[in-house]
Structure 1
């Protein structure tokens, strides 16, 4: 009888695609409503099972029925150092299958990409983290300091049932964490064949979700009516949608633009940053939103019958403020909508910003350059928000670093919350290699 050796355990780069594919096939749609959101606990239990297979114990905390968060701690060789938090959310925004080329929860591989809702926001990073730590456990690797893994719910609706819940209700699970990495950063922007900028998030705009209310005199829809709440609201919303706030260049954005200007060989006019930004192609939308406060109407609500003029009409405005400018944005918006419109806060989370320096940044740069000699790491500000806003409340210094090397022709920014979301398979494998190097050096 011949004894055959057991098959070798898969490497992280081998299994990251299947891990990500499994996660994409779990529908974790976050509608913003507990009654209709789905799957976060199922995904958290899947992650727990994959970690348990390699001997990593986990703590699961359910913030509401079906809304689960998972935390695990991997001991480092120097427990006296501050721990590094590595966080990723498990929820995704809704997706309409009729708009997609593939079913958004199929996890289909096509044309070198893995397709599905969450492929880049952010089940790709969740899978990378799982692949790296599973490989460590199989090969006996220990990180230089404690690494705390957090897989959260509800990021796509502000994190009340996710990261903020952990911070407010279970901060002991994050004890000792001094720095953190998560989405959206570490992705490449190709300048030419020999140079790629890797954008590392060191700042993100504040979240200021507002609701506008207009009041008027109810009446019959067939009458001439000069005090219509819908009309007043529509006029105010139109003014908001057309308004452009003044340009303000923050330290992070200035540093990014200086790096970009040098890499592209263009002059940067401090009084006209939009000219430089316009040359950035697919990432211009993200960067262009970081030089001013923004306010975009997203929802309207009024009336209860076709022939009744309602006495009240409301609109939701998605505002994003630059660091330190939340109050100023509110003042500016009140001027735009006028005194007759009531303004109510729905949710408010401050902007965050940190410097682009220190040992952690050096480790990010070294890991990127080791896998891509053409890498040039640069700081940038995210126009949206992440769970970092919650973790920063504990004094944790937060960065966006979920490494991906992207094809030069991929419109990466359009995939966030867009149709046909997908991640390049070789980009996933690149991310595992970079993340492995980074965490071993951090």
Structure 2
């Protein structure tokens, strides 16, 4: 582990670009750094991205700390002094790593950072170098103009979020908790983006996220010749368990956040709300358009088999077979979900955790929520703002271990026909450049008021 403070550079002249003017360029520069995280402990490019981030912050006179959990797994933190030192601090955070991209599947170079027809393309354009760029451009503008946020703001850019944050936010929370001293709330990714509901623009503010459980299923059997009768075939036992888990019809379970979202959709569309009727729930979810896939995964647990591993030769029955399952559990229902998984696996298959993390659910109320809503509506009067649950996870899970309440708020006003949520970890990620500029305006308002 290494840690090194970086001294601030002299402040730049007042004629430098505004946040709106430079956010696209910053995002483009980040997209052109391949920070693919393969989940194997390596983070190529994270160091380069961290150095770019640190340079942009020190360029305006901020003192920055750049630290590593392991060589190359680099995170960056700085702190802005607020106007009211009596108030608890806010953590404004992003991550610089991205999931891998197969270039052959893309219409453009996934690490080219190309701007085409008002859209910026590249792996990370929606997850989450867009928000990283908005944070950087707004912070730079505030410092250049001599403005301070309403309270202390810890600005952090973590490594390794796409592999659960073990070498990023989790490591920082365990080994450098003093960096977040006095912080009680946090803002990060996957919230604050717009969808069209009932002919009206609505922004989905993330107030909950499902729990994460990457699980290994293991079946031990009796190895033998492939031509023999074998009642203890590990592959057979494993295959049956995988099929049961993958096909299990998890019942609909509406958490408080999901229920409030669907009631809001009902108000906007006139569709009836009945939490006991799956068809009524499905109709309300479908009314969210491109975001329906995101939200549809939050009305119940999900369990998707993702990997299989068994055997080494066609005529040899292996003594062991393994599979990996990606399980996402609803807040408040994790234990019952795990109990069901053990039952589905059966007595011949054991479950081993690979990586697990907590589910989160926080109030859609309070001063910070009021400020986020007001900042959005100031830039888009007449819109609605609704809470929602994220089917994936964020580094807010790690910060919650310090008692920090986290929200997803990367504000973007999007075209109604853009399948924004479908591009997370997908092909041809892209974000409208005007959406980035909108986000800087909203974020700037928020930091002045939060």
TM-score scaled by structure 2?
0.94
Task: Name 1:51's counterpart in structure 2.
Answer: 57
Give the SS at the match of 2:288: helix
Work out which of the residue numbers 96, 116, 119 in structure 2 matches 1:90.
96
1:199 aligns to 2:204 (yes or no): yes
Work out which of the residue numbers 433, 438, 441 in structure 2 matches 1:425.
433
Structure 1 residue 302, shift from structure 2 partner: 1.1
Task: Name 1:17's counterpart in structure 2.
Answer: 24
Q: Deviations over 1:328-375 (max 9, x none)?
A: 111101221211111111111111111111111111111111111132
1:169 aligns to 2:175 (yes or no): yes
Task: Name 2:140's counterpart in structure 1.
Answer: 134
Give the SS at the match of 1:232: helix
| Separation of aligned partners in 1, 2:166 and 2:53 | 21
Structure 1 residue 313, shift from structure 2 partner: 0.5
Task: Name 1:280's counterpart in structure 2.
Answer: 288
| Separation of aligned partners in 2, 1:228 and 1:407 | 53
Q: Deviations over 1:365-386 (max 9, x none)?
A: 1111111113211111111110
Q: Deviations over 1:153-180 (max 9, x none)?
A: 1110111101111110000011111111
Structure 1 segments, 4+ long, off by >6 Å, are none
| Separation of aligned partners in 2, 1:49 and 1:235 | 53
Give the SS at the match of 1:317: strand
Work out which of the residue numbers 399, 404, 412 in structure 2 matches 1:404.
412
Work out which of the residue numbers 318, 325, 329 in structure 2 matches 1:321.
329
| Separation of aligned partners in 1, 2:41 and 2:391 | 26
Task: Name 1:3's counterpart in structure 2.
Answer: none
Task: Name 2:396's counterpart in structure 1.
Answer: 388
Task: Name 2:118's counterpart in structure 1.
Answer: 112
2:222–2:233 Cα contact (<8 Å) kept: yes
Pairs within 5 Å for 1:347-358: 347-358=355-366
Task: Name 2:3's counterpart in structure 1.
Answer: none
Structure 1 residue 426, shift from structure 2 partner: 0.6
| Separation of aligned partners in 1, 2:421 and 2:69 | 31
Work out which of the residue numbers 58, 66, 70 in structure 1 matches 2:72.
66
Structure 1 residue 101, shift from structure 2 partner: 0.2
Across the two proteins, how many residue pairs are aligned to each other? 435
Q: Deviations over 1:7-43 (max 9, x none)?
A: 93111011000000000001101011124x3111111
Task: Name 2:220's counterpart in structure 1.
Answer: 215
Q: Deviations over 1:221-273 (max 9, x none)?
A: 34444432112211211111111211111111111111111011111112122
Give the SS at the match of 1:347: strand
Structure 1 residue 97, shift from structure 2 partner: 0.1
Task: Name 2:195's counterpart in structure 1.
Answer: 189
Structure 1 residue 415, shift from structure 2 partner: 0.1
Task: Name 1:364's counterpart in structure 2.
Answer: 372
| Separation of aligned partners in 1, 2:65 and 2:15 | 30
Give the SS at the match of 1:69: strand
2:198–2:268 Cα contact (<8 Å) kept: no
Give the SS at the match of 2:62: coil
| Separation of aligned partners in 2, 1:318 and 1:288 | 17
Work out which of the residue numbers 67, 82, 86 in structure 2 matches 1:80.
86
Task: Name 2:6's counterpart in structure 1.
Answer: none
1:214–1:314 Cα contact (<8 Å) kept: yes
Task: Name 2:131's counterpart in structure 1.
Answer: 125
| Separation of aligned partners in 1, 2:290 and 2:147 | 38
Q: Using the TM superposition, name which of 379-388 and 305-314 deviates more.
A: 305-314
1:30 aligns to 2:34 (yes or no): no
Q: Deviations over 1:364-417 (max 9, x none)?
A: 111111111132111111111100000011111111001001110011111000
- Tell me how large the CA RMSD over aligned residues is: 1.3
Structure 1 residue 80, shift from structure 2 partner: 1.6
Q: Using the TM superposition, name which of 417-426 and 304-313 deviates more.
A: 304-313
Give the SS at the match of 2:410: coil
2:14–2:145 Cα contact (<8 Å) kept: no
Give the SS at the match of 1:316: strand
| Separation of aligned partners in 2, 1:336 and 1:96 | 34
TM-score scaled by structure 1?
0.96
Q: Using the TM superposition, name which of 320-329 and 120-129 deviates more.
A: 320-329
Structure 2 stretches of 5 or more lacking a match? 1-12
2:208–2:389 Cα contact (<8 Å) kept: yes
1:208–1:326 Cα contact (<8 Å) kept: no
